[in-house]
Chain A
Amino acid sequence: MSKLVIKNGRVVDPAQNLDRVSDVAIEDGVVREITEGIDATGARIFDASGLIVAPGFIDMHVHLREPGFEHAETIESGARAAATGGFTSVCCMPNTKPVNDSATVTSYIVDRARRFAVVNVFPIGAITKGSAGEELAAFASMKQAGIVAISDDGRPVMNARVVRRAMEFACALDIPLIEHCEDLHLSAGGDMHEGLESTRLGLRGIPRSSEDVMVARDILLTEVTGVRYHVAHISSHHAVDMVAFAKQRGLSVTSEATPHHFVLADSDMLPYDGNFKMKPPLREKRDVKAITRGLISGAIDAIATDHAPHAGDEKMQEFERCPFGIIGLETAVGLSLEQLYHPGHVTLLQLVKLFTINPATILSLDKGTLRPGASADLTIFSVNREWVYDVTKSPSKSSNTPFHGRKFKGGPVATVVAGEFVWQAT
């Protein structure tokens, strides 16, 4: 029997509405007890004085690039990056090669994760075969193989009838449908947010409306089908309003935001630097504010990174040729503390909720809390430790981030998965 006691940390578990200094006793990978003055005789002790002890953080939106793009990331390297960023669970999007549109691919990912990943990996299956937007993928057998949601992330389903059918099946299987909201006709050819900055830089724009019309369409279809519908990486202030409106109407609509969308605006871009290029694009200051407000009000339920590795030379090109996406696992906690906690927008309970019980509930994962009996996944972090992000030391195989060299106040200190330390700050 292996025992671990985390001593004197400030335990923050929103699922239990718990925020007090306590010890956490872990035995055989399971949380046994949270109370003060636990007898740690014979146990391994971790002194968490001055630190926050939270349920393991869940990133419900990452790209691990395996199978097919192992030069940019693998399940093994992506999982280590997750652990370094304080995440104990990640959900990987299906845009691999081949696309995760069958139980065979799902099983492959699950198997590779079991053998090589230091964190929990939950695959997300495709909505359509090959994410081509036409024929429905094999939802039921993928669910048996381990998917926790369906999404054609990066290649949104343009045909509303296909989406409606997929929603009906997702509803019957009790899994959420996650949409990357982008009308491909409106966004065609675009490289950054359409606005003053794109006009000034002579770059083709991706209008805010390309997100808005898809969110509107899908909310209406959610009402028709009763599906649990989730908006990925929300970026438009209109979309935040629409999600809030849908929630008021009692629809099962949720959403996530990435740290880069609530930290950076298009005017913060280093011009023509591919590390600032992603979809949806960095929008305007008013959108950044709306997303921050949405995270405070609850219109936005979760923080997800959309960790999207691309090998170095793919971003060392003309801006219009650079692929979309940035890595984000290691900077998410630091950016969230900087933007949401330190300015006083949210309490620690609120912040931890966005990383734990909320995504767990959306995806029906048996995770996100430290209730006795729960799997001992823990994120131990500091709110004041100062550090500088050095991407050259990242376990990720890619370094496409706009945050290299950024100074942070607060960030992950240790990551525990099933009672074992998988990462500790040096």
Chain B
Amino acid sequence: MGKGLLDIESLARSDAEAILERAKFFQPPPGEPYQRHQILQGRSIVNLFFEASTRTRTSFEIAGRRLGAEIISITASGSSVSKGESLVDTLNTLGAMRPDAIVMRHSASGAPHFLSRYLPIPIVNAGDGTHEHPTQALLDALTILDRRKTLEGLRVAIIGDIAHSRVARSNIFLLSKFGAQVVLCGPASLLPREIAHIAPGIELATDMEKAIRGVDVIMMLRVQLERQHEAAFPANEYFRFFGLRIEHMELAKPDVIVMHPGPMNRGQEISSEVADSQRSAILNQVGNGIAVRMAVLERVFTQ
């Protein structure tokens, strides 16, 4: 059985380095298309998305095809899942069809971990609830490494709804493993104090200007406006206090890298001026997603 990828927390630094090295190999030179490989010819991968996602699902599909695998995408709506079939039954059904690997996105934290105890097929986590999104952190690291020699010693601010962000968690674990300093910033109710202790090298800030002073990288998170109803933050104050605007750029390092996992709410957490500026690496992130997912899928079948 091959190696799945459930989370960054349990991934060794050397494994993360190997994935990133391989992803660099798959990265095409600027302006050129991805090369086709036959590495996974004859392998079948099921892309199982219990939660809506366009970019991650498409990115995995392209990555699988570039490696020569057969990849089938199933989304929750229109499948037996929407008819009330349980997660275990769905997976057992798919398991009986013997795919070589499953890529899975689910709204419940830990759903892939739970299934991996019962299913003898490697699972790649494409985002589980508010827990982790491991390939996002790897592609973010690759994007930073396009513009910096190393992650070690970098200062990275992650800004937004930290509490509910799987992107934040995976990035915290990965950046911490590589010796970066991570500053987490967001409204107090979305910034649990305990998160400062989930990995070494983490600081918390509720003041955005303090958070981004002197940083090498700013990662903005998508604001989940629906959380206003939970009284998690006062309505209409988000952009004013936690939105990234062009004047903030002066506080960070001159060559700061601005990132966003998408989809963006322009005018909410990030202004268009920043999103479309030279410092923005947002489209590089999307492109690097394919290279990283190729490396992750290849690793599944590497003994």
Contact = CB atoms under 8 A, between A and B. Distances in A.
A270 to B, nearest CB: 9
A242 to B, nearest CB: 23
B113 A272 contact: yes
Nearest to A274: B114
A200 B169 CA distance: 8
B110 A200 contact: no
Contact of B109 (A195, A201, A273, A316): A201
Interface in A187-246: 195-196, 198-205
Interface in A301-324: 313, 316-321
A317 B86 contact: yes
A196 B132 CA distance: 15
B128 A202 contact: yes
Interface centre among B128, B131, B132, B195 (most CB of A within 10 A): B131
Contact of B108 (A195, A199, A319): A319
B110 A201 contact: yes
Chain B CB count within 10 A is highest, among A196, A201, A202, A205, for A202
A372 interface: no
B88 to A, nearest CB: 5
A321 B114 CA distance: 12
B87 interface: yes
A271 interface: yes
B182 to A, nearest CB: 14
B87 A272 contact: no
Interface string B109-124: 1110110010000000
B177 interface: no
Given A200-B198, A202-B132, A272 B192 contact: no
A320 B86 contact: no
A124 B34 CA distance: 68
Contacts of A318: 87, 106, 108, 110-111, 114
Given A316-B86, A318-B114, A202 B198 contact: no
B109 A202 contact: yes
A318 B163 CA distance: 20
B284 interface: no
B130 interface: yes
Given A202-B128, A202-B129, A202-B131, A319 B198 contact: no
Which of A271, A272, A321 gathers the greatest number of chain B CB atoms within 10 Å?
A: A272
Contacts of A200: 9, 169, 198
A285 to B, nearest CB: 14
Nearest to B9: A200
Nearest to A270: B117
Nearest to B112: A272
B169 A202 contact: yes
Contacts of B108: 318-321
Interface in B248-302: none
Contacts of A196: 194, 197-198
B222 interface: no
Given A195-B194, A199-B192, A319 B114 contact: yes
A296 B110 CA distance: 37
Interface in B1-44: 9
A204 B227 CA distance: 14
B166 interface: yes
B114 A273 contact: yes
A200 B194 CA distance: 9
Interface in B85-111: 86-88, 106, 108-111
Contacts of A272: 109-111, 113-114
Which of B109, B129, B163, B194 gathers the greatest number of chain A CB atoms within 10 Å?
A: B109
Given A272-B110, A272-B114, A316 B88 contact: yes
Contacts of B9: 200
B195 A199 contact: yes
Nearest to B170: A202
A271 B132 CA distance: 14
A317 B132 contact: no
Contacts of B132: 202
A319 B130 CA distance: 13
A317 B129 CA distance: 14
A203 B109 contact: yes
Contacts of B117: 273
B113 A202 contact: no
A271 B116 CA distance: 12
A196 B9 CA distance: 14
Contacts of A199: 163, 192, 194-195, 198
Contact of B87 (A195, A198, A203, A317): A317
12 contacts: A199-B192, A200-B198, A202-B128, A202-B131, A205-B192, A271-B110, A272-B110, A272-B114, A316-B86, A318-B87, A318-B106, A321-B108
Given A199-B194, A201-B110, 20 more contacts: A196-B194, A198-B194, A199-B195, A200-B169, A201-B131, A202-B130, A202-B132, A203-B109, A203-B110, A203-B131, A271-B113, A272-B109, A272-B111, A272-B114, A313-B86, A316-B88, A317-B87, A317-B114, A318-B106, A319-B108
Interface of A: 195-196, 198-205, 271-273, 313, 316-321
Q: Which 7 A-B pairs have the closest CB atoms?
A: A202-B131, A272-B110, A318-B108, A202-B109, A202-B130, A199-B194, A196-B194
